[in-house]
Amino acid sequence: MSIRRILTIDNSADLQVLKRVSEPVETVDASLRALMDDMLETMYDAPGIGLAAVQIGETRRVIVMD
- pLDDT value at residue 1: 81
Confidence label for 43 from pLDDT (cuts 50, 70 and 90): very high
Residue 7: burial class (beta carbons within 10 Å; 0-12, 13-18, 19+)? middle
Instruction: Categorize the per-residue pLDDT at 44 as very low, low, confident or very high, splitting at 50, 70 and 90.
Output: very high
Average pLDDT in the 8-12 region? Answer: 97
Res 45 pLDDT > 90 = yes
Beta strands in the chain (DSSP E): 50-52, 63-65
Q: What is the pLDDT of residue 22?
A: 97
Asked whether the beta carbons of 42 and 4 are under 8 A apart, the reply is yes
- pTM comes to 0.90
